Structure 1
Amino acid sequence: MAVSARRGAPLTREEIYAAAWRLIDADGVEGLSMRKLAAELDVNPMSLYHHVENKTALMQEICLRVGTQLAPPPDDGLPWQDQIRALGDAYRELARRHPSLWRYVFNNPEVMSTRRGGMWDVLHRLLRLAGVPEEDVPRLAEILSSFVSGFIFSESTGGVRPDAWDDAVTLLIGGLEAYTGR
């Protein structure tokens, strides 16, 4: 790792991601540039490229990291309906804490191209618990994710009132109950 003459300390990937995340939360994704990030870290912009391929790769990693903040419901024996509601609440809360980053993910789904791990594993488990046939789990997970994401997007743009969330989740759960006959 090269040491910047200005900084006097080696630059790390962790430092880059943390600074980029701060800039995104403060100024939005559109306000992030590699030059601004370099200025924030007091390094030459080219120094960043020793650690990160480009802005797209940087955004992919930040999106994966924000996903680790999701607090999914534990597998604690509560009815699947309660756990689905808790998962939806956690996802919505995460989107509200990082609205610019969430809108970026919503508009650039390729940054979250993997549909496994974290939230996806929990959602798949809950769909199985609800009685969804194994072959239908991935497809229904995509549908539910799209439904919840669409609601959150509409809520963030004023298209739907925030107090409609509970009704939306109740409809989602009712639809799953009808689908599985449970």
Structure 2
Amino acid sequence: MAVSARRGSPLSPEEIHAEALRLIDERGVEALSMRKLAAALDVNPMSLYHHVPNKEALLDGVRGLVLSEIELPADDGSPWQEQIRALATGMRALAHRHPSLYPDLSAHPQLTRQDTVWKVLSRVLTAAGVPEERLSRVRNALFAFTAGILLAEINGAFPAPDDDAFDEAVTLIVNGLSAYAGDGA
């Protein structure tokens, strides 16, 4: 760990990512710079490069931090319909907790594919009856559908966060999965 001459204590990747997230939540992804982050941490900007090679790597760490916040449904034998609703609700909570980061996060879906979110979604879709050979396409479609709804919600396309509209969207997902998995079409 690098020790800053100004602050006198070592930096950690966790501290760097948490502060970057705080700055993003406050001002947006576009406003984040290594210099602004270093100033907020009271370190020389070059100190950051001992932990992250560049801004994109920093953002990858922040995205990973945020994805770890999602409350995932347990594999407890509850009906897949409840689990898909819980997963959608967890994603919605994340989007509203970090509306400045969510557009960036949804533009980097490869991160969710490496995360436990993707594994949980695969488990739930398998329980719903989606055949293994279609899992990837169904996951991608659900991600795009859900991300679009959440982007519309946080960008103000709806008059206000509309719980009824969100519930209707999740009902469409559940009903669509029931029909899709039921007849194999």
Per the TM superposition, whether the score is higher than 0.5 is yes
> Could you tell which deviates more after superposition, 152-161 or 67-76?
152-161
Q: CA RMSD in A?
A: 1.6
For 1:118 and 1:50, the matched residues in 2 are separated by 28
Q: Structure 1 residue 39: deviation in Å?
A: 0.5
Q: Secondary structure of the residue that 1:29 maps to in structure 2?
A: coil
Which residue of structure 2 lines up, in the alignment, with residue 155 of structure 1?
153
> Is 2:181 the partner of 1:180?
yes
Which residue of structure 2 lines up, in the alignment, with residue 33 of structure 1?
33
For 1:136 and 1:180, the matched residues in 2 are separated by 10
Which residue of structure 2 lines up, in the alignment, with residue 143 of structure 1?
141
Which residue of structure 1 lines up, in the alignment, with residue 166 of structure 2?
165
For 2:51 and 2:114, the matched residues in 1 are separated by 25
Which residue of structure 2 lines up, in the alignment, with residue 134 of structure 1?
132
Q: Structure 1 residue 159: deviation in Å?
A: 2.0
Q: Structure 1 residue 160: deviation in Å?
A: 3.3
The residue type paired with residue 153 of structure 1 is: L
Q: Structure 1 residue 158: deviation in Å?
A: 2.3
> Is 2:27 the partner of 1:23?
no
Q: Per-residue displacement from partner, 1:145-165 (whole Å, max 9, x unpaired)?
A: 110000001112222352300
Q: Structure 1 residue 11: deviation in Å?
A: 2.0
Identical amino acids, percent of aligned pairs: 54
Alignment length (residue pairs): 180
For 1:57 and 1:160, the matched residues in 2 are separated by 33
Q: Structure 1 residue 105: deviation in Å?
A: 1.6
For 1:44 and 1:116, the matched residues in 2 are separated by 32
For 2:34 and 2:125, the matched residues in 1 are separated by 41
Which residue of structure 1 lines up, in the alignment, with residue 8 of structure 2?
8
For 2:65 and 2:6, the matched residues in 1 are separated by 28
Name stretches of at least 5 consecutive residues in structure 2 with no aligned partner.
none
Assess if the C-alpha contact under 8 Å between 2:112 and 2:118 holds in 1.
Answer: no
| 1:43-82 mapped onto 2 (5 Å cutoff) | 43-82=43-82
4+ residue runs over 4 A deviation:
none
The residue type paired with residue 135 of structure 1 is: E
Name stretches of at least 5 consecutive residues in structure 1 with no aligned partner.
none
Assess if the C-alpha contact under 8 Å between 2:72 and 2:87 holds in 1.
Answer: yes
